[in-house]
């Protein structure tokens, strides 16, 4: 079963705009990670945020984590056409031995 | 440094056949995880191996099996293939286990006819 659920399922924006994707999860976690996947390719790690952190930045990426609401958001600023991909959140549950992925958000950035 | 390598990249099988997928982790990584990704969905966890021992198993039937070799490479075997096994099979390695960044290969695309 999927631990995380991303929202929206699909997002289409213009180059230069910001893109925000949300993720909700169900159980206590050690950390939450975001991955990117270009069509039919392997996943690439973007950023990891630990359960005791509230916000983290990496380049044009900003991730927030609210453990009381069991939710996270990924913000991509000043988007580029090359950011077009599927974005997945993944949780490392405290009771589990695996990284559990959500269904993903398909982001399309139009030039 | 070489990333995670998977083989074959694409393969076509018929129902009832068996398939073996291979994965070589990044040098120095001792943990390998396998995921199944059906088109349009997120990756589903199948197995995790660390130091050649199974450390986690997802909700998959016994037709799915895996092992990790002394050099930390891994194989995923699927017997008695069903149409529903058609998917992208992803292998990921990590340094210590699943708590932390996973490095994914490009996957093996399996089509069952």
The predicted pLDDT at position B84 comes to: 97
Q: How far apart are the CA of B108 and the nearest CA of chain A, in angstroms?
A: 10
> How confident is the model over B52-90, as pLDDT tens digits?
899 889 999 999 999 999 999 999 999 999 999 999 999
Above pLDDT 90, what percent of chain A? 79
CB pairs under 8 A between A and B: 62
Q: Nearest by CB to A101, from B43, B99, B105: name it.
A: B43
> How confident is the model over B6-27, as pLDDT tens digits?
999 999 999 999 999 999 999 9
Return the structure tokens found at A20. Answer: 């925000």
Residues of A with CB under 8 A from a CB of B: 1-2, 4, 30-31, 33, 35, 40-45, 48, 88, 92, 96-104
The predicted pLDDT at position A1 comes to: 45
Answer whether residue A62 shows pLDDT above 60: yes
| Residues whose CB falls within 8 Å of the CB of residue B35, separated by 6 or more in sequence, listed in order | A101, B43, B44, B45, B46, B89, B90, B91, B92
Q: Do A1 and B59 touch (CB under 8 A)?
A: yes
Q: How far apart are the CA of A40 and the nearest CA of chain B, in angstroms?
A: 8
Rounded Cα distance, A55 and A6, in Å: 18
- Reported as half-sphere exposure (CB side, CA atoms, 13 A), residue B10 has a value of 2
Answer whether residue B95 shows pLDDT above 90: no
Return the structure tokens found at A109. Answer: 């950035």
């Amino acid at each position: 079963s999927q631990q995380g659920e991303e929202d929206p399922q699909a997002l289409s924006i213009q180059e230069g705009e910001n893109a925000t994707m949300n993720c909700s999860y169900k159980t206590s976690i050690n950390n939450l990670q975001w991955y990117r996947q270009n069509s039919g390719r392997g996943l690439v790690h973007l950023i990891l945020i630990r359960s005791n952190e509230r916000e983290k930045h990496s380049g044009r990426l900003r991730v927030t984590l609210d453990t009381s609401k069991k939710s996270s958001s990924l913000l991509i600023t000043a988007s580029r056409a090359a950011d077009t991909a599927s974005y997945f959140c993944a949780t490392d549950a405290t009771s589990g031995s695996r990284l559990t992925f959500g269904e993903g958000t398909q982001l399309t950035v139009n030039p | 440094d070489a990333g995670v390598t998977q083989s074959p990249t694409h393969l076509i099988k018929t129902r009832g056949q068996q398939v073996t997928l291979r994965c070589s982790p990044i040098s120095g990584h001792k943990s390998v995880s396998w995921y199944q990704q059906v088109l349009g969905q997120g990756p589903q966890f199948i197995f995790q191996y660390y130091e050649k021992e199974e450390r986690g198993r997802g909700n998959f039937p016994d037709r799915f099996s895996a092992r990790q070799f002394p050099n930390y490479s891994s194989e995923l075997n699927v017997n008695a293939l069903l149409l529903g096994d058609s998917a992208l099979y992803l292998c990921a390695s990590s340094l210590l286990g699943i708590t932390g960044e996973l490095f994914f290969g490009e996957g093996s695309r399996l089509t069952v006819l």
